Amino acid sequence: MNILIAPDSFKDSLAAPLVCEHLRRGLQETFPAAHCQLLPLADGGEGTLETLAAVLGGEFIECTVHDPLFRLVQAHYLWLPVTATAVVEMAQASGLEKLTAAERDASQTTTLGTGELVADALTRGARHLVLTVGGSATNDAGVGLATALGYIFYDENNEPVPPIGANLARIRRIDSREVHPRLAEVSCRVVTDVTNPFHGPMGAAHVFAAQKGADTATIAHLDAGMRHFAALLHSTFNVDLQQLPGSGAGGGMGGGAACFLRAEISSAADWILDVTRVADLLQASDLLITGEGRIDAQTWQGKLLARLLALATHYQVPVMLVCGTLHNADAVLADPNVLYATSILPEPLPLADALARTPELLETQGKLLGRLLSRNWKFCGHE
């Protein structure tokens, strides 16, 4: 039996490559005849670089950059030398995990460090740039990134404006004369599964800024700044961001990159599944085992797992789902291509215990699946 093990990460617990390995280890203990192909997946947020490196190779390029509060930190991007492609994960330099809960304030944070990673990749000779924008701590519409690339933002007094979300409403002019000399030579793609517009009730500030430390008054101020800045970007770059799906992703990084980097915004799930050649692997498989930390109603709303299951159905490959928490199992099993869905938890556990025991619980679940599959395989006349 050819089994494709292709999970996303179990967030806050285990990266996707390790989820793959622990499932395989358990499964092959009780079903040693199984041939397991491991394919760790990611959704464009934190951990995407490590997942892609496990599949595509490449090397991590370390840089000293600024975190969301302008402190120096170490961060990296993935360099794929064969195609001269740099994959920059916004969470590396500008992510929410860089801040304590008390430090989170979307009005005061910057994407400067993400721009410094991009600038390093340009200097290295990148011809293609992929920017993943999940997990950000910012709502600066990409002005920090643009500042690192040589753009200068001026207020009504012709004074430079510090690149934070609170200052978007102050910007009156954008000077692009000193931008990085290689910027025009690079193709750029922003990958996200967020389709929110730049501003408004469903825009970056109103939907995402609260989780980045913004209160009601701050959200209103940020949204007003985004509205003002969108008009300036429209007049400067002739791009109507409010009509561009995903422009609100990453605190407006999607829209900012569309202007400052001439980036195309596309589905993170589709891009991940394409570059990892999932379709080819599925066609050579008898079974797909996949999952993530939490499977619930949002899983089926265009996210990575939903796209993967649709591909499996297309190629008539049955699916088994393994997760940390399983909600509404009846709805999951309503998909006729899903044979089985289970949580790895044997009983209710405190969250800290469940997270710490994830490797052990995945191996145990792998053993159970291996035993089930082995007996079924033999029942069908295989040795």
pLDDT digits (tens, 9 = 90+) for 114-123: 999 999 999 9
User: At 309, which CATH number?
Assistant: 3.40.50.10350
The pLDDT value given to residue 302: 59
Task: Report CA dihedral (241, 247, 252, 256) to the nearest 10 degrees.
Answer: -60
pTM over 0.85: yes
Range of the domain at 354: 2-40+276-379
Strands (E), 224-329: 264-266, 287-290, 294-295, 319-323, 325-326
Task: Give the Cα separation of 158 and 234 in Å (integer).
Answer: 20
The pLDDT value given to residue 69: 98
Is the pLDDT confidence value at 294 over 90? Answer: no
Query: What burial class does residue 383 get, using C-beta atoms within 10 Å of its C-beta: 0-12 exposed, 13-18 middle, 19+ buried?
Result: exposed
Is the pLDDT confidence value at 176 over 90? Answer: yes
pLDDT tier at 378, thresholds 50, 70, 90? low
- Start-to-end C-alpha separation, the chain: 10
- Judgement on whether residues 57 and 161 belong to the same structural domain of the protein: yes
- Judgement on whether residues 157 and 287 belong to the same structural domain of the protein: no
- Judgement on whether residues 120 and 263 belong to the same structural domain of the protein: yes
- Judgement on whether residues 27 and 58 belong to the same structural domain of the protein: no
- Judgement on whether residues 248 and 127 belong to the same structural domain of the protein: yes
**pLDDT above 70: percentage of residues in the chain:** 97
pLDDT tier at 92, thresholds 50, 70, 90? very high
Q: What is the mean pLDDT of residues 290-311?
A: 82
Is the pLDDT confidence value at 142 over 60? Answer: yes
pLDDT tier at 350, thresholds 50, 70, 90? confident
Q: What is the mean pLDDT of residues 181-204?
A: 95
- Judgement on whether residues 226 and 111 belong to the same structural domain of the protein: yes
Q: What is the DSSP pairing of strand 35-38 with strand 2-5?
A: parallel
Per-residue pLDDT of 22-71, as tens digits, reads: 999 999 999 999 999 999 998 777 778 988 898 889 999 999 999 999 99
User: At 108, which CATH number?
Assistant: 3.90.1510.10
Structural domain total, the chain? 2
- Judgement on whether residues 237 and 153 belong to the same structural domain of the protein: yes
Give yes or no for a contact between 35 and 24, defined as CB atoms under 8 angstroms apart: no
- Judgement on whether residues 127 and 64 belong to the same structural domain of the protein: yes
The pLDDT value given to residue 13: 80
- Judgement on whether residues 237 and 290 belong to the same structural domain of the protein: no
Domain boundary among 235, 268, 301: 268
Give yes or no for a contact between 64 and 73, defined as CB atoms under 8 angstroms apart: yes
pLDDT tier at 216, thresholds 50, 70, 90? very high
Domain boundary among 222, 243, 268: 268
331 vs 131, residue with greater confidence: 131
Domain boundary among 211, 237, 268: 268
- Judgement on whether residues 307 and 256 belong to the same structural domain of the protein: no
- Judgement on whether residues 156 and 211 belong to the same structural domain of the protein: yes
Question: Looking at the DSSP assignment, which residues form a beta bridge with residue 152?
Answer: 175
Task: Give the Cα separation of 224 and 220 in Å (integer).
Answer: 6
- Judgement on whether residues 182 and 206 belong to the same structural domain of the protein: yes
Is the pLDDT confidence value at 303 over 80? Answer: no
Per-residue pLDDT of 316-346, as tens digits, reads: 999 999 998 888 777 777 888 999 999 998 8
Q: What is the mean pLDDT of residues 367-378?
A: 86
